[in-house]
Amino acid sequence: MTAVPAPRIEPGKTRHARITGGILIGLAILTAVVFAPDGTGIATFRLSRPTDALVLPNLVVPAVPFIYAAAAVLAFLGARQFLRGGTRWTSLSMGIGLAVAVAAFLVWATTGKAFSLTGMLQATMVRAVPIALGGLAGVLSERVAVVNIAIEGMLLAGAFTGALVGSLLGGMGGLAAAVAIGGLFGFILAALVVTYRMDQIIAGVVINLLVLGLTSYVSSQVFQEYRYLNNAPVFRAVKVPLLGDIPILGPMFFQQNIFVYGALIMVGVATYYLFHTRMGLRARAVGEHPRAADTLGINVYRTRYINVTLAGMVAGFGGAWFTLGSVGRFDEGMTGGRGYIGLAAMIFGRWHPVGALAAALVFGFADSLQQKLALLQTPIPSEFLAMAPYVATIIVVAGLVGRARPPAADGKPYVKE
């Protein structure tokens, strides 16, 4: 028993910092050992296309110095976390560290070749769309405390309906129908969990199975025979005047199709709705403390119905991306787990629309990375590259990149007395 009280330690944060430090040091070793290139390779990154209004010169990186510098930065960050522990910069260090490691990886993979960075970023945004919209759908329903595992099914339903109705009525009709069908499944989810008090996770899983069954059935029963029903027009990219000419950012944000613009607008509108309107305040109250909302005359059930239906509409729009936004044709199970990755984006984004978008960009990056790297002929098997988004998702839900508090009533049914 010492006379002087020991300094107050914070074990939770220290542990977190230690883990982070360990991961960063591991990345440093990986970078220095595995990515170390032989000789004097040079990696060339293209920043613009020759047709652009404003052509930037290529970014030329000497591989060896860059990779060793990256390893050094990682080692420094890791050692700092490991030794000092519990500083305020844990999450930031992790973020910087991951970015540096990815950059080193890219340089390694590109050594001796050329790689279009702009194309990569453009693809990142495109691939982020369904994830961002899935995440946004998650935010809208979890803010009213309904866990929405059904996003995957809603995306799939949107993709299917977009293709079917799009083939018959054209792109806009298909899009409207996709939004409507998403809303319908949102409404069904709300009915199951709010009115019939089904377990929220089971309800979500069941909707996913149902949508998978329905869409697979129709595509094998009907589409096989009537191919014109599965041949929808695709929305082309529309360049925004002036903004689209900004180097790097222009192609990423302003030379895209309706889905990218739609996603960006929806994120803005949802943020305004949740945090600056009466409806949003009430929705959040229902998610945090439904009984309190009830005693104040707010209709908890109706609020949940409305928000979960809205979430379904957002997911339906996101689902249409798979067909109307890329290939125009529906394939069985083509969403490939994007809805679940969207949920991870929601968690990573701390239940905030803008956060979900930012997180979706990270996943979109991982997704487009694996696609582009396949072109670079790296020695990594393509199957492992294809796992990247999934592994990233696990890392995110495991909270290695910081954690936030979900709405207090999340997942709990509300039984009015």
What x/- string results for residues 231 through 250 when contact with another protein is judged by CB under 8 A? --------------------
State which amino acid sits at residue 409. Answer: A
In whole angstroms, give the CA distance from residue 272 to residue 267: 9
d(CA 13, CA 161): 47
Q: What is the dihedral of CA 319, 320, 324, 326, to 10 degrees?
A: -20
Q: Which is nearer to another protein, 71 or 156 (CB)?
A: 156
**Tokens representing residue 187 in the block:** 């409404």
1 contacts another protein (rule: CB under 8 A):
yes
Per-residue contact flags (x/-) with another protein for residues 160 to 199, judged by CB under 8 A: --------------------------------x--xxxxx
143 neighbors 284 (Cβ within 8 angstroms): yes
Q: How many whole angstroms separate alpha carbon 229 and alpha carbon 378?
A: 40
**CA proximity to 246, closest of 255, 238, 237:** 255
Q: Under rule CB under 8 A, which residues in 324-363 are in contact with another protein?
A: 336-337, 340, 343-344
Q: Kindly write out the interface string for residues 64-103 of this chain, putting x where it contacts another protein by CB under 8 A and - elsewhere.
A: ----------------------------------------
Q: Over the Cα atoms of the chain, what is R_g?
A: 23
Span from 25-33, 42-50, 313-321, 390-398 in contact with another protein (CB under 8 A): 390-398
**Closer CB to another protein, 5 or 241, in the complex:** 5
- CA 65 distance to own-chain centroid: 33
Q: Which C-beta is closer to another protein: that of 49 or that of 302?
A: 302
In the shown chain, the binding pattern of residues 256 to 295 toward another protein, with x for contact by CB under 8 A and - for none, equals ----------------x---xxxxxxx-xx--xx-xxxxx
Nearer to another protein, 52 or 142 (CB): 142
Question: What would the DSSP string read from start to end of 5-49?
Answer: PPPPP-HHHHHHHHHHHHHHHHHHHHHHHTS--SSS-EEEEE-S-
Nearest to 382 by CA among 374, 372, 394: 374
Residue 292 CB, shortest distance to another protein, in Å, is 4
Interface of this chain with another protein, residues 124 to 153, rule: CB under 8 A: 149
Both tokens of residue 153? 């099914």
Shortest CB 298 distance to another protein, Å: 5
β-partners of residue 286 are none
Which segment (56-64, 215-223, 244-252, 312-320) binds another protein by CB under 8 A? 215-223
Measured from the CB atom, the residue of 1 and 33 that comes closer to another protein is: 1
Q: Which is nearer to another protein, 86 or 173 (CB)?
A: 86
Among 13, 18, 46, 80, binds another protein (CB under 8 A): 13
DSSP code at position 297 = T
Other CB atoms within 10 A of residue 291 CB: 14
Shortest distance in whole angstroms from residue 231 CB to another protein: 18
